[in-house]
Amino acid sequence: MKTRITELLGIEHPIVQGGMHYVGLAELAAAVSNAGGLGIVTALTQGTPEKLAAEIDRCRTMTDKPFGINMTFLPSLTPPDYPGLFEVIIDKGVGVVETAGNNPAKWLPMLKDAGIKVVHKCTSVRHALKAQQIGCDAVSVDGFECGGHPGEDDIPNFILLPRAAEELEIPFISSGGMADARSLVASLAMGAEGMNMGTRFIATKEAPVHDNVKQAIIDASELDTRLIMRGLRNTERVLNNEGVERLIEKEKNLGADLKFEDIIPEVAGIYPKVMKDGDVDAGAWSCGMVAGLIHDVPTVKELIDRIMSEAEALITQRLCGILKA
């Protein structure tokens, strides 16, 4: 399948792996790239320039295909060494960077000078237009269904993607609620040039997470995620569990008096406990509503091959058949 995104990123299939904390490691990124998509290594999981350099090198021992680095800008009392992390990305010759969170304008000149393609994740059309204006090569348009941070506008992809298509000139990919061939074909129909999958890639053989995490996603339905931190205007969609229920109870009891410090036990340092140790009830971890569409744990190649073959069948048989009828 050839789209503006496959051409831009130098990949075979218009499928991008989301940059996920403690999931976007070399094993998964390499598997996605080897299967024809774009794998993503998550920089902030590594934390330091030295560790990121080592992870990039490790990924290169597993694939000779293009892969990208996710760089998320979040408010923090002790910010990561962003200059050092970007220096490593450039020195290592990485071709694609996915940015998320705050405006990446500060870092674009150095990335562009190095010939790196920048894809910025956006949860609204206005943010996508800003990304286009400052020089991003593409955007990942993230609907309200997504796991992680959906923004504060609550616009689902059936509206958000066509609106992006109306406004944008640069190519964009769909993100949030993407799991299978239907997701891809629908995204293309609404103007996207491909799709980004996060939660779906966690439930694969190569995802370097505890089996309890994969099973929790399979067991979940589309009704089993919750929105937390709305009162802090830092909304996050997470899988419901005992820790999340404690957090929601705090939010309910404290109301407008809620402060981030009140929920630190349920949100700080949770990812290693969940992803490495398998304590899926430890607290808040990102998961999309798309869990309701995830029923197995295939290899990454099996998943991508299945998506592409079923997408072709959907387009050439079902949709063409409707036209002929």
Q: Please check whether residue 179 is in contact with residue 290, taking contact to mean a CB–CB distance below 8 angstroms.
A: yes
What is the structure's pLDDT at 78? 83
pLDDT for the residue 228:
97
Q: Is the backbone of residue 28 left (phi > 0), alpha (psi -120 to 50) or beta?
A: alpha
- Domain 4-209 sits in which CATH superfamily? Aldolase class I (3.20.20.70)
Domain regions of the chain by residue span: 4-209
- Quote the pTM value: 0.96
How confident is the model at residue 23, as a pLDDT? Answer: 98
pLDDT (0 to 100) of residue 74: 81
Rounded Cα distance between 164 and 192, Å, is: 8
Residue 229's region, left for phi above 0, alpha for psi from -120 to 50, else beta, is left
Q: How many other C-beta atoms are found inside a 10 Å radius of the C-beta of residue 226? A: 17
Segment holding 254, helix H or strand E: helix 242-254
What's the pLDDT tens digit per position in 52-62? 999 999 999 99
Calculate the alpha carbon distances from 256 to 3, 244, 264 in Å.
47, 19, 17
Cα distances (Å, whole numbers) of residue 226 to 57, 158, 176, 324:
37, 20, 15, 43
Alpha helices per DSSP H over 79-210: 82-91, 108-113, 125-134, 157-167, 181-189, 199-202
Segments in the chain below pLDDT 50 = none
pLDDT tens column, 192-204: 999 999 999 999 9
Which stretches does DSSP call E strand in 31-132? 39-42, 67-73, 96-101, 117-122
pLDDT in tens, 134-143: 999 999 999 9
pLDDT for res 325: 64
pLDDT at residue 76 in the model: 74
Show the tokens assigned to 148.
């992680």
